Structure 1
Amino acid sequence: MIRDDIKAAQITAMKAGDKGTRQATNLILSAIKNRDIEERTRSVQMDDDAMVIEVLQKMVKQRRESIEMFEGGGRQDLVDTEKAEVAVIERFLPAQMSDAETIAAIEAIKAELGASGMKDMGRVMAELKARHATTLDMSKASSLVKAALS
């Protein structure tokens, strides 16, 4: 399980005195714990690894947005910190699909659903997320789906 890998990395970082990795794993475990609390109230529970991957993807997205803002503000120290956190978080994410693989998956779903225009984008995106959510950056996929349907 990914959660166990993160805890093991945290222990290794503490023993090695790696402050950056330890802080990043603390943030990850905190976000996962918050998501666990949210999940308690839901009637349908998610698979643990899928939930952890979703949390990690959200954290990476937030940090990339922060990096853009910090670069615009000329805060290189904060950019470096965020990039270091992204590197630690991405260690626990499964390999992401390449653009070519994403386009192939979109074309397959498009053919299965008989999607022909922009009115079918919601259906294609929903199916794409259902099949490939853990290995796909949905924001990139959105632009690829839009291009495939136009």
Structure 2
Amino acid sequence: MSLKIRINEDMKVAMKARETTRLAAIRLLMAAMKQKEVDERIELDDAGVIGIIEKMLKQRKDSITQYEAAKRQDLADVEKFEVEVLTAYMPQALGAAEVEAIVARALADSGAKGPADMGKVMALVKPQIAGRADMGEVSKLVKARLASA
């Protein structure tokens, strides 16, 4: 079952169960997916949906930080719930050892010599890791490996 179909089915289940907060979070995701399809005149595949979810997760995490700094725990709790709902649609996360193995293989395959080759390495790593690991942390790992190379 494609991710889009799964999200649509979950929306129907949330409607029938009258889970209003869950339904609202799923509808936000559905709206973002539809907007992307209309804007770019494409049919989203699973990778496209995961990209949208990653973007939404990043936005929610930024909002949580800002709400907590402003002492608005009520709004932060709403955002945290949305993060939980969105995270359920992400693929299984990779472990640190798996990420390091992928980075090591990309370094070898790209023939990277130093920090100037970061783009080459990340181009090989991103398709394998997208949605399964924090790209910021992966980027730091690649930078550290290239600096010591």
* Same fold? TM cut 0.5: yes
How far residue 135 of structure 1 moved from its aligned partner, in angstroms, is: 2.4
Describe the shift of the 1:48–1:28 C-alpha distance in structure 2 as closer, same or farther (beyond 3 A). Answer: same
What's 1:31 paired with? Answer: 32
Distance 1:147 1:140 in 2: 11
Is 1:97 the equivalent of 2:94?
Answer: yes
What's 1:87 paired with? Answer: 84
Counterpart among 64, 67, 75 of residue 67 in structure 1: 64
Contact 1:70 1:76 in 2 (8 A): yes
Letter in 2 for 1:95: Q
Distance 1:144 1:34 in 2: 34
Cα root mean square deviation, aligned: 1.5
Unaligned runs of 5+ in 1: none
**Identity percentage over the alignment?**
40
What's 2:141 paired with? Answer: 144
Distance 2:89 2:16 in 1: 19
* Number of aligned residue pairs: 146
What's 2:117 paired with? Answer: 120
Contact 1:96 1:137 in 2 (8 A): no
Letter in 1 for 2:8: K
Relative to the length of structure 1, the TM-score reads: 0.91
How far residue 47 of structure 1 moved from its aligned partner, in angstroms, is: 5.9
How far residue 140 of structure 1 moved from its aligned partner, in angstroms, is: 2.0
How far residue 39 of structure 1 moved from its aligned partner, in angstroms, is: 2.3
Q: Deviation string for 1:102-141 (max 9, x for gaps)?
A: 1111011001111121111111111111333242332221
Contact 2:14 2:23 in 1 (8 A): yes
What's 1:8 paired with? Answer: 9
Distance 1:46 1:15 in 2: 27
Counterpart among 110, 134, 141 of residue 107 in structure 2: 110
Distance 1:47 1:37 in 2: 10
* Matched position secondary structure for 2:92: coil
Unaligned runs of 5+ in 2: none
Q: Deviation string for 1:82-120 (max 9, x for gaps)?
A: 010000011111112222211111011001111121111
